[in-house]
Homo-oligomer: A and B are copies of this chain.
Amino acid sequence: MGEEVKLLRVWGSPFSSRVEIALRLKGVQYEFFEEDLQNKSALLLKSNPVHKKIPVLLHNNKPIAESQVVLEYIDETWKQGFSILPENPYERAHARFWARFIDEKCLSAIWKACWGSEEHEKAVEEACELLKLLEQELKGNKFFGGEKVGLVDIVGNFIAYWLRAIQEVVGVEILTKEKLPKLYDWSDEFVNVLQESLPPRDKLVAFFRGRFESTTTTSN
């Protein structure tokens, strides 16, 4: 059907990565365009005039923005094969609830614990408390989606992959084997299964090291 799938992305963004994971799990061929956030392309500004943010999926030139919205779109458009959301409405609601929990609660708490300068210990504790709630949702499963990756796993990519790289750089302990053993194992499984859809770890660490050093230098 001469389908055209393009992704406006930034290589190190967990939000872009969510979309790339979904497209690869579905086996959808796509072309990506790397955005420079300091100098956004005319296509990005035209495709997402409200937020002017990546990722934007362009499907036959129709733009879809907001990563969770894009994930649902991908699941509803390429129905054959892999499913991102379960079939049962109650299980779908459950997955959407936890996906929202990650975006609305966990991400800002983790960011504050990693990069915030004030009340550091309290911030780390708060982030751990939220992740404990999330961990309970694994309920002995390998993934939040059960035996396979699903919506909550994909939305949780920052926690599974980015967080441990950032921890290494800034010397914070949030997701550790001791504090969150099941979530830590999940994070290993996630990376094992999705390695090829994730940005290179050394490049990510280098990026955050640059960021960290500029922050500590500035505050001297």
Q: Which residues on A are within 8 Å of B, measured CB to CB? A: 50, 59, 62, 64-66, 68-70, 72-73, 76-77, 89-90, 92-93, 96-97, 100-101, 133
Contact = CB atoms under 8 A, between A and B. Distances in A.
A90 B66 contact: no
Given A72-B92, A89-B77, A92-B76, A97 B133 contact: no
Given A50-B133, A133-B50, A73 B100 contact: no
Nearest to A78: B89
B90 A64 contact: yes
A101 B101 CA distance: 17
B69 A101 contact: no
A212 B88 CA distance: 45
A105 to B, nearest CB: 8
B101 A72 contact: no
A50 B101 contact: yes
Contacts of A59: 90
A96 B76 contact: no
B62 A90 contact: yes
Given A73-B93, A92-B72, A100 B50 contact: no
A76 to B, nearest CB: 4
Nearest to A76: B89
Nearest to A99: B69
Contacts of A97: 64-66, 69
Closest 10 CB pairs of A and B: A76-B89, A73-B93, A69-B96, A77-B89, A64-B93, A69-B93, A69-B97, A73-B89, A66-B97, A62-B90
5 contacts: A50-B101, A66-B97, A68-B100, A73-B93, A77-B89
